[in-house]
């Protein structure tokens, strides 16, 4: 997604992105797409990696609430839903 489109969507100049790789935790093999997605996010804003399965709710929830963009990357969606 281009920076100008995101700026129009969030109507702010500073983009704060939460990058959620949780659904990819069960994947194996080459996950080049995960790194590519992360690097793409870094090009358009400040990125906070938040793996909700690795830290307690009281830590990740405030971090998500501070973001104006949440990126949930691919992987096994059923893992994320649990």
Phi-psi domain of 65 (left: phi exceeds 0; alpha: psi -120 through 50; beta: other): alpha
CA dihedral 58, 59, 65, 67 (to 10 degrees): -170
The pLDDT of residue 4 is above 90: no
Contact 46, 14 (CB under 8 A): yes
- Each residue of 36-63: pLDDT tens digit? 888 988 988 899 999 888 889 999 999 9
Q: Return d(Cα 11, Cα 29) in angstroms, integer.
A: 38
State residue 7's pLDDT score: 65
């Amino acid at each position: 997604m281009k920076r100008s489109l995101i700026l129009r969507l969030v109507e702010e100049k500073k983009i704060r992105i939460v990058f959620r790789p949780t659904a990819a935790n069960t994947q194996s093999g080459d996950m080049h797409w995960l790194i590519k997605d992360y690097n793409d996010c870094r090009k358009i804003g400040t990125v906070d990696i938040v793996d909700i399965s690795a830290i307690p709710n009281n830590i990740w929830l405030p971090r998500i609430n501070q973001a104006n963009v949440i990126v949930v990357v691919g992987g096994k969606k059923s893992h994320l839903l649990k």
